Structure 1
Amino acid sequence: MEGVLSILVGIFFAVSIYLMMSRYTIRIMLGVAALSNAVNLLIFTSGRLMREVPPIIPEGASVPAMPTANPLPQALILTAIVISFSFLAFLLVLAYRAYQELGTDDITQMRVAEPADEDLPPVSY
Protein backbone atom coordinates (compact mmCIF):
# COMPACT_ATOMS: atom_id res chain seq x y z
CA MET A 1 0.00 0.00 0.00
CA GLU A 2 2.87 2.39 0.74
CA GLY A 3 4.20 1.91 -2.78
CA VAL A 4 0.94 2.99 -4.38
CA LEU A 5 0.70 6.02 -2.10
CA SER A 6 4.32 6.93 -2.83
CA ILE A 7 3.58 6.96 -6.56
CA LEU A 8 0.47 9.05 -5.88
CA VAL A 9 2.54 11.52 -3.84
CA GLY A 10 5.00 11.83 -6.73
CA ILE A 11 2.14 12.50 -9.17
CA PHE A 12 0.69 15.14 -6.84
CA PHE A 13 4.08 16.87 -6.55
CA ALA A 14 4.58 16.82 -10.33
CA VAL A 15 1.10 18.22 -10.99
CA SER A 16 1.49 20.92 -8.34
CA ILE A 17 4.86 22.08 -9.66
CA TYR A 18 3.48 22.17 -13.21
CA LEU A 19 0.47 24.23 -12.10
CA MET A 20 2.52 26.64 -9.98
CA MET A 21 4.74 27.45 -12.97
CA SER A 22 1.73 28.75 -14.88
CA ARG A 23 1.07 32.41 -15.74
CA TYR A 24 -2.48 32.44 -14.39
CA THR A 25 -3.35 32.96 -10.74
CA ILE A 26 -6.12 30.33 -10.65
CA ARG A 27 -3.72 27.63 -11.83
CA ILE A 28 -1.15 28.78 -9.30
CA MET A 29 -3.71 28.47 -6.50
CA LEU A 30 -4.73 25.00 -7.69
CA GLY A 31 -1.04 24.09 -7.64
CA VAL A 32 -0.71 25.32 -4.06
CA ALA A 33 -3.75 23.23 -3.07
CA ALA A 34 -2.31 20.15 -4.80
CA LEU A 35 1.05 20.76 -3.10
CA SER A 36 -0.55 20.90 0.34
CA ASN A 37 -2.42 17.65 -0.40
CA ALA A 38 0.82 16.03 -1.58
CA VAL A 39 2.64 17.03 1.60
CA ASN A 40 -0.24 15.79 3.76
CA LEU A 41 -0.25 12.46 1.95
CA LEU A 42 3.53 12.20 2.30
CA ILE A 43 3.34 12.79 6.06
CA PHE A 44 0.48 10.29 6.34
CA THR A 45 2.44 7.64 4.43
CA SER A 46 5.54 8.17 6.56
CA GLY A 47 3.55 7.32 9.72
CA ARG A 48 2.99 3.67 8.63
CA LEU A 49 -0.29 2.37 7.31
CA MET A 50 -1.60 -0.31 9.64
CA ARG A 51 -5.31 -0.66 10.23
CA GLU A 52 -5.33 -3.85 12.29
CA VAL A 53 -3.24 -2.74 15.28
CA PRO A 54 -4.30 0.31 17.30
CA PRO A 55 -1.46 2.42 18.76
CA ILE A 56 -2.20 1.48 22.39
CA ILE A 57 0.60 0.70 24.84
CA PRO A 58 -0.26 -2.11 27.28
CA GLU A 59 -0.09 -1.41 31.00
CA GLY A 60 3.40 -1.85 32.41
CA ALA A 61 5.15 -1.50 29.01
CA SER A 62 6.96 1.51 27.63
CA VAL A 63 6.44 0.67 23.95
CA PRO A 64 3.69 -1.16 22.02
CA ALA A 65 4.04 -4.93 21.81
CA MET A 66 3.95 -5.00 17.99
CA PRO A 67 4.41 -2.47 15.16
CA THR A 68 1.62 0.09 15.08
CA ALA A 69 0.70 3.17 13.10
CA ASN A 70 2.08 6.43 14.43
CA PRO A 71 -0.76 8.77 15.52
CA LEU A 72 1.40 11.92 15.47
CA PRO A 73 1.42 12.34 11.65
CA GLN A 74 -2.36 12.01 11.63
CA ALA A 75 -2.67 14.82 14.18
CA LEU A 76 -0.24 16.97 12.18
CA ILE A 77 -2.26 16.39 9.02
CA LEU A 78 -5.49 17.51 10.69
CA THR A 79 -3.81 20.76 11.66
CA ALA A 80 -2.24 21.16 8.21
CA ILE A 81 -5.63 20.71 6.50
CA VAL A 82 -7.11 23.62 8.44
CA ILE A 83 -4.09 25.84 7.79
CA SER A 84 -3.95 25.03 4.07
CA PHE A 85 -7.69 25.70 3.69
CA SER A 86 -7.39 29.11 5.34
CA PHE A 87 -4.31 29.90 3.21
CA LEU A 88 -6.18 28.93 0.05
CA ALA A 89 -9.16 31.07 1.05
CA PHE A 90 -6.80 34.03 1.58
CA LEU A 91 -5.20 33.45 -1.84
CA LEU A 92 -8.62 33.30 -3.49
CA VAL A 93 -9.63 36.64 -1.99
CA LEU A 94 -6.27 38.16 -2.92
CA ALA A 95 -6.51 36.92 -6.52
CA TYR A 96 -10.09 38.12 -6.85
CA ARG A 97 -9.16 41.57 -5.55
CA ALA A 98 -6.19 41.74 -7.95
CA TYR A 99 -8.49 40.76 -10.81
CA GLN A 100 -10.95 43.50 -9.83
CA GLU A 101 -8.22 46.14 -9.70
CA LEU A 102 -6.19 45.14 -12.75
CA GLY A 103 -8.74 43.37 -14.93
CA THR A 104 -6.55 40.34 -15.63
CA ASP A 105 -5.40 37.14 -13.97
CA ASP A 106 -2.26 36.82 -16.09
CA ILE A 107 0.72 37.59 -13.83
CA THR A 108 2.85 38.97 -16.66
CA GLN A 109 0.16 41.53 -17.45
CA MET A 110 -0.23 42.31 -13.75
CA ARG A 111 3.34 43.54 -13.64
CA VAL A 112 2.82 46.15 -16.34
CA ALA A 113 -0.79 47.08 -15.55
CA GLU A 114 -1.41 50.19 -13.53
CA PRO A 115 -4.66 51.15 -11.84
CA ALA A 116 -6.66 53.92 -13.43
CA ASP A 117 -5.88 57.47 -12.27
CA GLU A 118 -9.48 58.20 -11.31
CA ASP A 119 -9.38 55.36 -8.78
CA LEU A 120 -6.42 56.85 -6.92
CA PRO A 121 -7.04 59.31 -4.08
CA PRO A 122 -5.80 62.89 -4.62
CA VAL A 123 -2.30 63.56 -3.34
CA SER A 124 -1.86 66.59 -1.08
CA TYR A 125 1.56 67.83 -0.01
Structure 2
Amino acid sequence: MEIVMCILAGSLFAAGIYMLLQKQLLRVILGTALLSHGAHLFILTMGKLNRGAPPVLEKAAESYTDPLPQALILTSIVISFGVTSFLLVLAYRAYQTNHTDRMDELKGLEDE
Protein backbone atom coordinates (compact mmCIF):
# COMPACT_ATOMS: atom_id res chain seq x y z
CA MET A 1 0.00 0.00 0.00
CA GLU A 2 2.90 2.36 0.72
CA ILE A 3 4.24 1.92 -2.80
CA VAL A 4 0.90 2.95 -4.32
CA MET A 5 0.75 6.01 -2.07
CA CYS A 6 4.33 6.98 -2.95
CA ILE A 7 3.58 6.68 -6.67
CA LEU A 8 0.44 8.76 -6.23
CA ALA A 9 2.29 11.42 -4.22
CA GLY A 10 5.08 11.48 -6.82
CA SER A 11 2.61 11.91 -9.66
CA LEU A 12 0.94 14.77 -7.77
CA PHE A 13 4.36 16.38 -7.26
CA ALA A 14 5.17 15.98 -10.96
CA ALA A 15 1.82 17.41 -12.08
CA GLY A 16 2.14 20.26 -9.57
CA ILE A 17 5.61 21.22 -10.78
CA TYR A 18 4.44 21.05 -14.40
CA MET A 19 1.53 23.35 -13.55
CA LEU A 20 3.83 25.76 -11.70
CA LEU A 21 5.88 26.23 -14.87
CA GLN A 22 2.88 27.37 -16.94
CA LYS A 23 2.26 30.97 -17.98
CA GLN A 24 -1.35 31.29 -16.82
CA LEU A 25 -1.82 32.44 -13.24
CA LEU A 26 -4.70 30.06 -12.54
CA ARG A 27 -2.60 27.06 -13.55
CA VAL A 28 0.15 28.21 -11.19
CA ILE A 29 -2.37 28.33 -8.35
CA LEU A 30 -3.64 24.84 -9.22
CA GLY A 31 -0.02 23.67 -9.25
CA THR A 32 0.50 24.88 -5.70
CA ALA A 33 -2.66 23.06 -4.64
CA LEU A 34 -1.43 19.83 -6.27
CA LEU A 35 1.94 20.20 -4.54
CA SER A 36 0.26 20.58 -1.17
CA HIS A 37 -1.90 17.50 -1.76
CA GLY A 38 1.20 15.53 -2.73
CA ALA A 39 2.88 16.66 0.49
CA HIS A 40 -0.15 15.52 2.49
CA LEU A 41 0.00 12.05 0.96
CA PHE A 42 3.76 11.90 1.48
CA ILE A 43 3.48 12.79 5.17
CA LEU A 44 0.70 10.24 5.61
CA THR A 45 2.82 7.56 3.94
CA MET A 46 5.86 8.36 6.06
CA GLY A 47 3.76 7.83 9.19
CA LYS A 48 3.24 4.16 8.20
CA LEU A 49 -0.15 2.98 7.07
CA ASN A 50 -1.51 0.70 9.80
CA ARG A 51 -5.05 -0.26 8.91
CA GLY A 52 -7.41 -1.08 11.75
CA ALA A 53 -4.96 -0.08 14.48
CA PRO A 54 -6.05 2.39 17.17
CA PRO A 55 -4.44 5.85 17.10
CA VAL A 56 -3.83 5.85 20.86
CA LEU A 57 -1.53 3.39 22.61
CA GLU A 58 -3.36 1.25 25.15
CA LYS A 59 -2.11 -1.54 27.36
CA ALA A 60 -3.92 -4.24 25.37
CA ALA A 61 -2.97 -2.91 21.92
CA GLU A 62 -0.19 -4.76 20.11
CA SER A 63 0.12 -2.18 17.32
CA TYR A 64 -0.98 1.41 17.05
CA THR A 65 -1.13 4.20 14.51
CA ASP A 66 0.95 7.31 15.11
CA PRO A 67 -1.47 10.26 15.43
CA LEU A 68 1.22 12.93 14.78
CA PRO A 69 1.21 12.70 10.93
CA GLN A 70 -2.58 12.93 10.94
CA ALA A 71 -2.46 16.07 13.09
CA LEU A 72 0.21 17.60 10.85
CA ILE A 73 -1.84 16.86 7.74
CA LEU A 74 -4.96 18.38 9.27
CA THR A 75 -3.06 21.56 10.09
CA SER A 76 -1.49 21.60 6.63
CA ILE A 77 -4.89 21.21 4.95
CA VAL A 78 -6.20 24.28 6.76
CA ILE A 79 -3.11 26.32 5.87
CA SER A 80 -3.13 25.25 2.21
CA PHE A 81 -6.84 26.07 1.94
CA GLY A 82 -6.16 29.57 3.26
CA VAL A 83 -3.21 30.11 0.93
CA THR A 84 -5.13 28.80 -2.10
CA SER A 85 -8.14 31.00 -1.38
CA PHE A 86 -5.85 34.04 -0.94
CA LEU A 87 -4.09 33.30 -4.23
CA LEU A 88 -7.42 32.90 -6.04
CA VAL A 89 -8.64 36.29 -4.76
CA LEU A 90 -5.30 37.85 -5.70
CA ALA A 91 -5.50 36.36 -9.20
CA TYR A 92 -9.08 37.57 -9.62
CA ARG A 93 -8.05 41.08 -8.64
CA ALA A 94 -5.08 41.00 -11.00
CA TYR A 95 -7.37 39.84 -13.81
CA GLN A 96 -9.84 42.63 -13.09
CA THR A 97 -7.08 45.23 -13.14
CA ASN A 98 -5.03 44.01 -16.12
CA HIS A 99 -7.61 41.99 -18.13
CA THR A 100 -5.19 39.08 -18.49
CA ASP A 101 -3.91 36.15 -16.45
CA ARG A 102 -0.74 35.47 -18.44
CA MET A 103 2.44 35.95 -16.42
CA ASP A 104 4.45 37.51 -19.26
CA GLU A 105 1.77 40.18 -19.79
CA LEU A 106 1.51 40.96 -16.07
CA LYS A 107 5.13 42.11 -15.91
CA GLY A 108 4.29 45.54 -17.29
CA LEU A 109 5.90 47.66 -19.93
CA GLU A 110 9.66 48.21 -19.89
CA ASP A 111 9.58 51.84 -21.03
CA GLU A 112 7.42 53.05 -18.13
Same fold (TM over 0.5): yes
SS in 2 for 1:107: coil
1:4 Cα shift? 0.3
The one-letter code of the counterpart of 1:55 is P
Whole-Å separation in 1 of the counterparts to 2:100 and 2:56: 55
Query: 1:101: which partner in 2?
Result: 97
Q: How many residues of Structure 1 are paired with residues of Structure 2 in the alignment?
A: 110
Q: Write out per-residue CA displacement over residues 41-99 of structure 1, whole angstroms, 9 at most, x where no aligned residue.
A: 1001111111222133335xxxx863432110001111111110010000000000001
Q: What TM-score, normalized to structure 2?
A: 0.90
RMSD: 1.7
Unaligned stretches of 5+ in structure 2? Answer: none
SS at match of 1:110: coil
Larger Rg: 1
Matched, 1:82 2:78: yes
Paired amino acid for 2:82 = S
Poorly superposed stretches of 4+, deviation over 3 Å: 64-67
Gaps of 5+ in 1: 115-125
Inter-partner Cα distance in structure 2 for 1:113 and 1:99: 17
Q: Distance in 2 between matches of 1:104 and 1:113?
A: 14
* Counterpart code for 1:111: K
CA distance in 1, matches of 2:8, 2:88: 26
Structural mapping, 1:28-39, within 5 Å: 28-39=28-39
TM-score scaled by structure 1? 0.81
- Residue 67 of structure 2 corresponds to which residue in structure 1? 71
Contact 1:102 1:113 in 2 (8 A): no
* 2:88 aligned to which of 72, 89, 92: 92
Shift of 1:113: 5.2
Equivalent position of 1:15 in the other structure: 15
> Which amino acid counterpart does residue 108 of structure 1 have in structure 2?
D
Cα shift at 1:26: 0.6
